[in-house]
Amino acid sequence: VNPRNEYGQTPLHRACWWGHLHIVEILLGHNGIDANVVDKYGDTPLHEAVRGQRYDTVLKMLNKDSVKFDMEGNHKMTPFLQAVEWGHLGVIKTLLAKGAKVNAVNDEGNNCLHLALQKDAFHSEEEHIALLDKCAFKLSLTQGNRTCSTVVATYLFHFGANFYHPNGKNVIPLDLIQDRNLKEKLKTFLPPPCTYCQVMYASSEFKPCEHIALCRDCYIRIKGESCPTCHQPISGVREFEAPKFEDRCVQTEAICQELGAASQAIGAPKCEDRCVQTEANMSGIRGCISGNWAPKFEDRCVQTEATCQELGAASQAIGAPKFEDRCVQTEATCQELGAASQAIGEYKIIVPN
């Protein structure tokens, strides 16, 4: 089952390239099959399926435990980098869910963002990807632009892709965005770069000055006693998590929507004013969540919970029927929102030696 042609390709390579799903299934079920065999260029059958944009074949290959999905092929391209280069969102999403290395680089030092920002648009057999809409909204773009390169790059950033990574020509992905307004908009929710290495995201907030200046690795390496920005002595460090906050964003926004629906169901007089105030607080929370590393998120949560309590008091004065049930539901939602907020704002204080 593993004979090779002049290019070093096996029947599994060819079946994956042409998308012959039934043949792929038969070959994968054979005891002697080598699912990760490389051709003379270093590419595996999975590389062929991705390059041929055979979505169903990619899914079939990835369902096989023996298939290695992060192998480097020709030009050190992983299947994930190939999926980005060929602009296939469904394959990108599938490989990310499988655990593909989002910051893999090819032989030119390009990461997935370099490759994404060189494309005009992406396509997919996948159904609607909600996170793309969120990314387009953050960039003030319409849903018609949800598959443009900058939106997809922002989507990849949510999974940890680095906008500050320099390639072999010392070009970072941000340099590839031609639209100046779009670039500035993107910068508003990117963590700042580490002031020391200029490559990783800064994730260490120094106390008491609250400057976010270094990535964790550089802070550990330097072990400075003063802030590199203001030179004030450091009393502690607040460490933020790297990106990958999309799940928390979705979860918290769902809670916000649930809270809004509960408030509208109460029907208290002048509820519109309080709903507007609550919605403003929710917008503040969403803005804070969209920059996961931003501090002082707890203050907005306290303010929102206070608004909910005020709304409940006003409705009790009316004597709305069965209001207690709604109060309990709304307060439970507030508590859930508080728990989600605490989860997002987790940090630890490190006191330097």
CB 319 within 8 A of CB 307: no
Q: Please give the class, per CATH, of domain 192-241.
A: alpha beta
Tokens (6 digits) for 291: 């920059």
Q: Mean pLDDT in the chain?
A: 76
Segment 71-96, tens digit of pLDDT = 999 999 999 999 999 999 999 999 99
Q: Please answer whether residues 156 and 102 qualify as being in contact, where contact means their C-beta atoms are separated by less than 8 angstroms.
A: yes
- Measured over the CA atoms of residue 70, residue 72, residue 76 and residue 82, the dihedral's sign is negative
Q: Residue 123: phi, psi to the nearest 5?
A: -140, 170
pLDDT at 262: 42
Give the position of tokens 């109060």: 327
Neighbours of 182 (CB within 10 A): 17
Residue 277 CA to residue 270 CA, distance in Å, equals 12
Instruction: Please state the domain extents for the chain.
Output: 192-241
Is-cis flag, bond preceding 321, omega within 30? no
Q: What are phi and psi for residue 236, nearest 5 degrees? A: -175, 170
Q: What is the pLDDT of residue 237?
A: 84
- In this model, does residue 352 exceed pLDDT 60? no
The token duo for 247 is: 């799940």
Instruction: Retrieve residue 5's tokens.
Output: 């042609």
Read off the amino acid at residue 152. V
How do residues 226-247 score in pLDDT, each as one tens digit? Answer: 888 888 898 888 876 544 434 4
Longest CA–CA span in the chain (Å) reads 84
Q: Identify the residue with better confidence: 201 or 132.
A: 132
Q: For residues 80 and 91, what is the distance between their CA atoms, to the nearest angstrom?
A: 8
Tell me the three state secondary structure of residue 158. Answer: coil
Residue 311: pLDDT band by 50, 70, 90 thresholds?
very low
Phi, psi (deg, nearest 5) at residue 237: -135, 130
Please write the tens of the pLDDT for every residue from 13-70: 999 999 999 999 999 999 999 999 999 999 999 999 999 999 999 999 999 999 999 9
Q: At what angle do helices 297-318 and 323-344 cross, to 10 degrees?
A: 180
Helix axes 55-62, 11-18, angle to 10 degrees: 140
Contact 154, 134 (CB under 8 A): no
The verdict on pTM exceeding 0.95 is: no
pLDDT at 334 over 80: no
Count other Cβ atoms within 10 Å, centred on residue 145. Answer: 17
In Å, how far are 69, 78, 90, 119, 124 from 53, measured between CA atoms? 15, 14, 10, 16, 9
Judge contact between 331 and 324, C-beta under 8 A. no
Q: What is the pLDDT of residue 321?
A: 41
Q: How many residues does the chain have?
A: 353
